[in-house]
């Protein structure tokens, strides 16, 4: 029944908008078997594409977002006054949630995520924090007592689609995070 319905719709299309008067006469009067054959081919193509589309949707829904980015700038990143630290070299970005221009990960789907950041200082104290949207999740501190110190921040958090996670400077000072792939930010859905 559905096949006959599609054939009727296709023929109406040809009669009303799909072909000129000459082409209509040639197609419909001279070779109706060719029309039915072509219609069968189109129906099979649509069925095949529907199956492929459903498979693609299932694959996409099964993919868990993950990213890993490092600070590549050799001179380091100078940041202060509540600036967001931008890890400029993206090594992995499954789900395309991390943006190196803004330094923000935006959750592409609801779920529980693990985030870790390592910030390597260059001879001075560094104060930073990990935020969800504008909410403080955890703080990190690295003492500048020696030439190079690092801090590690790591946490597990439940996110909704569209939530933002980022590393932000805290405190009044201006700090330098060491580049050359010494500082990093990573996250993934558990």
Helix, strand, coil fractions of the chain, as percent rounded to 5: 30, 40, 30
CA distance 179 to 190: 28
* Average pLDDT, integer, range 143-150: 75
* pLDDT of 24: 53
pLDDT at residue 172, rounded to an integer: 75
Identify the three-state secondary structure at position 89: strand
pLDDT of residue 187: 98
Nearest to 160 by CA among 113, 90, 103, 102: 113
- At residue 25, the pLDDT reads 56
Residue indicated by tokens 């991390």: 98
In the sheet that holds 184-189, the strands lie side by side as 89-94, 66-70, 184-189, 111-120, 150-159
Closest CA to 65 of 161, 132, 170: 161
Domain ranges of the chain: 1-61, 64-189
Predicted confidence at residue 18, as pLDDT, reads 53
Angle at 178 between CA 172 and CA 182, to 5 degrees: 135
Residue 14 pLDDT class (50, 70, 90 cuts) = low
Q: Please tell me the pTM assigned to this model.
A: 0.67
CATH fold of 64-189 reads: Jelly Rolls (2.60.120)
Q: How far apart are CA 132 and CA 155, in angstroms?
A: 11
């Amino acid at each position: 029944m559905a096949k006959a319905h599609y054939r009727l719709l296709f023929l109406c299309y040809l009669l009303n908008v799909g072909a000129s008067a000459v082409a209509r006469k040639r197609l419909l009067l001279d070779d109706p078997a060719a029309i039915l054959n072509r219609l069968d081919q189109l129906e099979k193509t649509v069925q095949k594409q529907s199956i492929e589309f459903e498979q693609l949707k299932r694959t996409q829904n099964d993919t868990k977002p993950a990213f890993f980015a490092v600070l590549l700038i050799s001179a380091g990143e100078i940041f202060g006054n509540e600036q967001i630290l931008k890890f400029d070299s993206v090594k992995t970005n499954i789900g395309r949630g991390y943006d190196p221009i803004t330094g923000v990960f935006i959750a592409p789907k609801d779920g529980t995520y693990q985030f870790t950041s390592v910030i390597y200082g260059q001879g001075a104290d560094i104060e930073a924090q990990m935020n969800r949207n504008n909410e403080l999740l955890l703080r990190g501190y690295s003492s500048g007592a020696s030439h190079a110190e690092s801090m590690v921040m790591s946490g597990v958090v439940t996110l909704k689609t569209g939530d933002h996670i980022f590393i932000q400077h805290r405190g009044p000072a201006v700090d330098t995070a060491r580049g050359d792939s010494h500082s990093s930010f990573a996250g993934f859905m558990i």
